[in-house]
Amino acid sequence: MGRSRKASELMPYDHLQYALEDNFAVVTLNRPQRRNALSLRLMLELVDCLDAIGRDPSIRAVVLNAAGAVFSSGHDLSEMTSGSVNEYRRLFDVCAELMMKVQAIPQPVIAEVQGLATAAGCQLVATCDLAIAGEKAAFATPGVKIGLFCTTPMVALTRAVGRKRAMEMLLTGRAVDAPTAAEWGLVNRVVPSGELTAATRELARRIAAASSFTVGLGKQAFYAQIDLDQPKAYAYAKEVMTMNSLAADAREGITAFLEKRVPCWTGK
């Protein structure tokens, strides 16, 4: 992995597949034989891949999906049987880095969830900016059943579904089905399994049609304000919107709307 690169410079990964479709990226977790468990290596590769995507302004959105029947079973438990305190800290440091990277890059990341997403796999779905689930998808944080409470998944899960629902998932370990996940706000919507790929691509294309500058600015502002109290959130948001109003793409977009034509974005 090494130095930071643009997406156009990415080399093949061991546990990921990467492809470009139109002007969005498709990143695929590719350990189906291990239920796409988030091994340290896979997480490092995903951090590297997302970092490169974030540096490539030609990419407007990211679809994150998985090979096989399971989206992700969470951390690779085979790496967690006899580690030292420093090894465990390293594992969870990288996990936290991955989750923060998903939200730090300017492009919206859409989770395409075709099957079970558990523990850190559920955390990854909760962390993504958007998520679409197939009708057979399910979500759980079952660590309590094996004596390892899903404490880091709890951070993203609580912010997605709220306190009481998160606590129920965390304390019981029971899976919730896709319609329940949509009702609770863990995913945006549920579609028939055969329509899942088309639904995520349609969403990616809709996002990609907007100004990349505006989308990136908006994503950054969303996460900056979400945990502020309301007066501070408004104080921050009005400054961002003021600066946004001065941007070339904002002026072009407003002018195009008034002139009833399609805008021509410059990404500035």
Q: What is the mean pLDDT of residues 21-29?
A: 96
CA distance 120 to 260: 46
In which residue are the tokens 């099957």 written? 115
pLDDT digits (tens, 9 = 90+) for 90-104: 999 999 999 999 999
pTM, whole model, 2 decimals?
Answer: 0.94
pLDDT band at 10 (very low <50, low <70, confident <90, very high): low
pLDDT digits (tens, 9 = 90+) for 35-78: 999 999 999 999 999 999 999 999 999 999 999 999 999 999 99
Question: CB–CB of 80/30 below 8 Å?
Answer: no
- 3 has pLDDT over 70: no
Task: Read off the CATH number of the domain in which 80 is found.
Answer: 3.90.226.10
- Which residues span the domain enclosing 222? 212-258
| Token pair belonging to 176 | 């919730």
Q: What is the pLDDT of residue 155?
A: 98
**133 lies in a domain?**
yes
Q: What is the mean pLDDT of residues 113-138?
A: 98
**267 lies in a domain?**
no
Question: CB–CB of 15/31 below 8 Å?
Answer: yes
- Looking at the fold, whether 130 and 249 belong to one and the same domain comes out as no
Q: What is the pLDDT of residue 12?
A: 82
- Looking at the fold, whether 168 and 240 belong to one and the same domain comes out as no
